[in-house]
Amino acid sequence: MRALRRRALILASLAALAAVPSGAAAFQPIRRQFGDLTLPRVRAGTLEVPRAHRDNRIRVIVTLKQPPLAQAYGRGLFAAGSAGRLDVHTTASQAYLRRLEQVQAAAIAQLHRTIPSATVSERYRIVLDGFTVTLPVKKLPQLVRAGFAQRVWPSLRYTQTTNRSPAVIGADAFHAATGANGEGVKIGVVDDGVDNTNPFLSPAGFSPPAGFPIGDPKFTSAKVIVARAFPGPGSGAAGKLPLDRQASFHGTHVAGIAAGDAGTCSPGGRDHPPTCGLSGIAPKAYVGNYRVFNVPTPIGHIAESPEIAEAFEQAVADGMQVINFSGGGPEAEPLNDVLIAAVDNVAAAGVVPVIAAGNDREDFGFGTVGSPGSAPGAISVAAVSNSQVFAPTLSAFDAGGKVVLQAPFVAGASTTPAAWSGVNQVLVDVASRTGPSTNCLRIRSTARSHSSRVASARSPRKPDARRKRVRSGSWSSTTVPARRTRFRFSSRSRRG
């Protein structure tokens, strides 16, 4: 009877499963309509072998069994009743750091006895408990089996991930409701360097907090209060600088978004007109510069796990309240990604880790988050797009006033009269016309310059003349019914 009842339960379960549609059926394939539509099996180009691999040596991070200071004593960003951040200068914190240093010294001594050719560089005690080791590849199994090593982590490579930003996220409403503009907040920007002379980061009206500035005084101010460099292997002499004005740009851009001074005027450039009224999200905040993207490669300046982890650790030690890292790499297995642990321990120290979600959506689809933005303790931030452009634009409106076309003019590719520089202009206003023919306005555009030009206004000769036709090269021709279509040239950027 029990066997019969068991069979009945099994059959009922199978029937229920058969009745439920498969969850996998809900997934839809990603159909790309731009860029590389096929994946070539072989790509033309030169294979770059990292310098360290040419001599059969590898760089890894070894963590030990004791928890780092942030994990042992940190109250945690999300802990109930948390009243502050980890203070690394207290008697208890300093005593614990000394204990970790002694244990690490013993482990390094044992490492040198076991693998004499191994070298140690970075050491961590706050967000990690361990050190970076460079050793022959063949000796890696020996290191993994060493009694002092709790875990051996690979060194991963990371790349950089780049007037109304406050309004896009509602920061202007927050400012109006609370009166808070980031006063006294210290934001550590872990990036490719922050230019302390940029007018968007002017020190006017600022006084540095007690104990600051820190680091190279040539690259600090009352606004940019920290300037540190974390040179990676192969970064050269320029990698030792907190800022390389020949190569650094991304970090300054990021720092401006976070804490650019309110009311700043941009002088304009090749691709945008002069613009005033710019502001960062927290214009009264201080900025700490922690440069890690300093290793030149064919794909730009990159950084690796050891230097990024060291920058996180130093930012916590310096008293930063927020750490911003606008960089990332493909999501790795979390158990093998040391930055996941480092970011989680930044949060455990009571510091807010704000990490870019990454740029992998076009390769892997919606919802894709790169490393270390996938860390549970991170606030991962994706990109936000709107229709605003910092350039003169040509806009077309239908009879109801709805924008049906908007295209920017690019300097050098498009020319406009000097008299149009400060006021909007109506270019064309074509009325409806009765009869067998329909007035049409033909617009010719090029994707390369993103400019639009009025070519002619005439009646189509064939019924299919209203369809988009590709002519030659990158030029295309589109015929639009011109019943009460208005064109306006906007001298300033606008949102659709």
**Do 147 and 254 lie in a common domain?**
no
pLDDT tens-digit profile of 63-84?
Answer: 999 999 998 886 554 443 345 6
Tell which of 97, 121, 154 closes a domain. 154
Indicate whether 326 belongs to any domain: yes
> Are residues 466 and 479 in contact, defined by beta-carbon separation less than 8 angstroms?
yes
Contacts of 451 (CB under 8 A, 6+ apart): 394, 407, 408, 409, 410, 413, 414, 445
Could you tell me what percent of the chain has a pLDDT over 70?
A: 61
Six-digit token string for 352: 């807010």
pLDDT of residue 217: 94
Indicate whether 24 belongs to any domain: no
pLDDT of residue 224: 96
Pairing of strands 440-446, 475-481: antiparallel
pLDDT of residue 396: 73
> Are residues 381 and 357 in contact, defined by beta-carbon separation less than 8 angstroms?
yes
**Do 98 and 195 lie in a common domain?**
no
Domain that holds residue 121: 51-154
**Do 60 and 129 lie in a common domain?**
yes
Indicate whether 115 belongs to any domain: yes
Q: Which of 52, 60, 61, 47 is nearest to 233 (CA)?
A: 52
**Do 132 and 169 lie in a common domain?**
no
Six-digit token string for 35: 């860029």
State which residues of the chain have pLDDT below 70.
Answer: 1-54, 74-84, 161-169, 269-273, 359-367, 383-394, 406-496
Indicate whether 168 belongs to any domain: yes
Indicate whether 134 belongs to any domain: yes
| Residue in this structure with the two tokens 């909007």, named with its chain if needed | 424
C-alpha 239: how far from its chain's center?
A: 21
* H, E, C per residue of the chain: CHHHHHHHHHHHHHHHHHHCCCHHHHCCCCCCCCCCCCCCCCCCCCCCCCHHHHCCEEEEEEECCCCCHHHHHCCCCCCCCCCCCCCCCCHHHHHHHHHHHHHHHHHHHHHHHHCCCCEEEEEECCCCCEEEEEEEHHHHHHHHCCCCCCEEEECCEEEECCCCHHHHCCHHHHHHHHCCCCCCCEEEEEECCCCCCCHHHCCCCCCCCCCCCEECHHHCCCCEEEEEECCCCCCCHHHHCCCCCCCCCHHHHHHHHHHCCCCEEECCECCECCEEEECCCCCCCEEEEEECCCEEECCEEEEEHHHHHHHHHHHHHHCCCEEEECEEECCCCHHHCHHHHHHHHHHHCCCEEEEECCCCHHHHCCCCCCECCCCCCCEEECCCCCCCCCCCEEEEECCCCCEEEEEECCECCECCCHHHCCCCEEEEEECCCCCCCCCEEEEEEECCCCCEEEEEEECCCCHHHHCCEECCCCEEEEEEECCCEEEEEECCCCCC
- Buried b / exposed e over 219-243, threshold 16 CB at 10 Å, is bbbbbbbbbbbbbbbebeebbebbb
**Do 400 and 375 lie in a common domain?**
no
**Do 366 and 429 lie in a common domain?**
no
Radius of gyration for the chain, computed over Cα atoms and rounded to the nearest angstrom: 29
Tell which of 346, 381, 416 closes a domain. 381
Indicate whether 377 belongs to any domain: yes
**Per DSSP, what are the bridge partners of residue 425?**
489
pLDDT of residue 397: 73
pLDDT of residue 38: 55
- Buried b / exposed e over 463-472, threshold 16 CB at 10 Å, is eeeeeeeeee
> Are residues 79 and 146 in contact, defined by beta-carbon separation less than 8 angstroms?
no
**Do 453 and 314 lie in a common domain?**
no
**Sheet with 322-325: strands ordered across:** 214-215, 224-229, 286-291, 186-191, 322-325, 352-356, 379-381
Tell which of 325, 352, 381 closes a domain. 381
**Do 277 and 369 lie in a common domain?**
yes
**Count of domains forming the chain:** 3
**Do 422 and 375 lie in a common domain?**
no
CATH number, domain of 117, equals: 3.30.70
CATH number, domain of 322, equals: 3.40.50.200
Indicate whether 449 belongs to any domain: yes
> Are residues 307 and 232 in contact, defined by beta-carbon separation less than 8 angstroms?
yes
pLDDT of residue 412: 56
pLDDT tens-digit profile of 416-437?
Answer: 666 665 566 666 555 444 444 4
**Do 372 and 406 lie in a common domain?**
no
**Do 130 and 176 lie in a common domain?**
no
pLDDT of residue 74: 66
Indicate whether 8 belongs to any domain: no
**Do 146 and 184 lie in a common domain?**
no
> Are residues 73 and 87 in contact, defined by beta-carbon separation less than 8 angstroms?
no
Measured between alpha carbons, how far is 277 from 167 in angstroms, rounded to an integer? 13
pLDDT of residue 485: 45
